Structure 1
Amino acid sequence: MQANLKYPCRGVAALALNVMSLAAFTLASIGCAAQTQPEPPSGIAAVAPPPPSAIAPAPLADAGAALIAQVVVARFLTNPDGDVDGFLTSDGMLVHFPPHMGPQLTAMVRPGDHVQVSGWRGPGGNLAAQRIADTRSGQQLVDQPPAGPPPLPPELRAAALSRLSVQGQVAHVTTAPRGEPDGVILADGTVIKLTPPIAQQFPALLQTGANVSAQGYGTRNQYGTALQATAFGSPGNLTQLYDRQPPAP
């Protein structure tokens, strides 16, 4: 099953294109930069939604169509910056939302909880969420522009990333907004991000069930592992994706 990551993580595309120069510059000038956690945006309020029974879940419609679905949260997903920006449902659908909603959502629901999601279906059958409501507690989150200070610039976020190596079986192929493949999600929830032009070089590996391996820069926390790949391939047969590799943090 393909899944569309509609909200690309902030700064990760820049890291993929400039990882060599950013890592060398920031590690020399900044050192051990502390990664602070932003305060929850004040623009997203937890309020009581309509009773779940008042809104009947709609079946999945054509791509781009609005829908409402009752789902069970199976596993949270992160982006390479470490932000929670999606979750997998118990029936294998990917629900995606902006990273600024992650702290509130992980405080509101846990894996195994039933939630009602309102949003739009993407090309791969996944759901871009506009509202997520906990059907048990009645709390909900609505996607609104984030409040508070602007995000850190890419070079500061790059300084907080770690060198990671992962491998496993592909459970989902992710796609960019226009539908082109841009990475995979492994069976254990690990997210491997690629740029679409590079992803097109590995058609045999960007398939459900394929065994893949990757190295790159990202984060590993209590919600999962995600990295932007600088090397990708089958286990024991990695292809370097860039001419020069940055120094390890």
Structure 2
Amino acid sequence: MHWIDPDCLPEVKGTVERFLLNPHGEIDGFVITDNTQASVLVHTPPHMEAELTRQINAGDVVGVRGVRPRKADLIAAVAVTTASGADIVDRGPDHDREHPRIEKKKMSAEGTVRLSLFGPKGELRGALLADGTVVRIGPKEAEQVAKLLAPNAKIAVKGDGLETKHGRVLHAKEIGSGSGDLRPIKEAKPKPKPGHDPKHEAKPRHDRAEHA
């Protein structure tokens, strides 16, 4: 169960436009239109997928209670109230839950970014294109190409992905401002642990007897 009591959080109401997918094809959020006609990005953990898709459809008016990270325009949902008044609460993942086994295929996409996509702590994780394609990139790699993932940016990507009844998602391996400008996305190297100096790593010993 989520450690935050949803009843203590303000509620944002809006009309569900569409669900969003992670690279595994799982739903990890949705977009709502609020009473000012602005699009609001809502993040939900994948373990809430079954309840969300069972009780919510595009066009439904829902209420969202959650927290807003400092560095992104996003609501990380703790609870969602359906049009019928039912509450879907983040009660934590099933520890036996695994990612679905899916067969990805080579995919490409090109167009204009409609919304930047973020993780629950506000980390940049991709973009929603104007045609509805969800582009996903690891948070460390996304920082390197943040300008291409900003709203109204022109973008082209290649990678692998899949299509489901809830939409199309592509995990980008190449990116550019157009199909003739594609370049590989460099995988971010893990940062060294604090206090760790690779120069002081123990070197393998070579026993003289081995070379006698």
TM-score class, shorter-chain normalisation, is 0.7 to 0.9
1:29 corresponds to which residue? none
Name the CA distance, whole Å, in 1 between partners of 2:54 and 2:18: 14
Tell me the residue number matched to 2:49.
102
The residue aligned with 1:150 is 97
Aligned twin of 2:61: 114
Which position in structure 1 is the counterpart of 2:165? 222
How big is the shift at 1:208? Answer: 1.2
The one-letter code sitting in structure 2 at the alignment partner of 1:206 is L
Query: Following TM superposition, by how much is the alpha carbon of 1:216 offset from its aligned partner in structure 2, in angstroms?
Result: 1.2
Give, in whole Å, the separation in 2 of the partners of 1:100 and 1:180. 20
Q: CA deviation at 1:67?
A: 2.3
Tell me the equivalent position of 2:136.
193
What is the root-mean-square deviation of aligned Cα atoms in Å? 2.5
Where 1:219 maps in the other structure, the secondary structure is strand
Larger Rg: 2
| Matching residue's letter, 2:21 | T
Q: Once the 2 structures are TM-superposed, how far is the Cα of residue 212 of structure 1 from its aligned partner?
A: 0.6
| 1-structure distance, mates of 2:81, 2:156 | 36
Is 1:131 the counterpart of 2:79? The answer is: yes
Q: Which runs of 5+ in 1 are unaligned?
A: 1-42, 44-54, 56-64, 244-249
Q: Between Structure 1 and Structure 2, how many residues are aligned?
A: 176
Task: Report the CA distance between 1:192 and its aligned residue.
Answer: 1.2
- State the shift of 1:143 in Å: 0.5
- 2:106–2:160: 8 Å Cα contact kept in structure 1? yes
Per-residue CA shift, 1:3-34, capped at 9, x if unaligned?
A: xxxxxxxxxxxxxxxxxxxxxxxxxxxxxxxx
SS in 2 for 1:192: strand
Cα distance in structure 2, aligned partners of 1:196 and 1:133? 29
Residue 180 of structure 1 and its aligned partner are, at CA, apart by 4.5
Which structure has more relative contact order (CA 8 Å, sep 6+)? It is: 1
Whole-Å Cα distance in 2 between the matches of residues 85 and 180 of structure 1?
Answer: 14
User: What does 1:1-249 correspond to in 2, within 5 Å?
Assistant: 66-90=9-33, 91-123=38-70, 124-135=72-83, 137-147=84-94, 149-152=96-99, 157=101, 160-176=103-119, 179-236=122-179, 237-241=181-185
State the distance in 1 between where 2:43 and 2:147 align: 26
In 2, are the aligned partners of 1:77 and 1:189 still within 8 Å (CA)?
Answer: no
TM-score, structure 2 as length reference: 0.73
Residue aligned with 1:170, SS: strand
SS, match of residue 39 in structure 2:
coil
Q: How far off is 1:72 after superposition?
A: 1.0
Give the secondary-structure state (helix, strand or coil) at the position aligned to 2:147.
coil
Q: What amino acid is the match of 1:86?
A: G
- Quote the offset at 1:230 in angstroms: 0.8
1:86 Cα deviation from its structure 2 partner = 0.7
Partners of 2:76 and 2:120 within 8 A in 1: no
Query: What amino acid does structure 1 have at the position aligned with 2:162?
Result: T
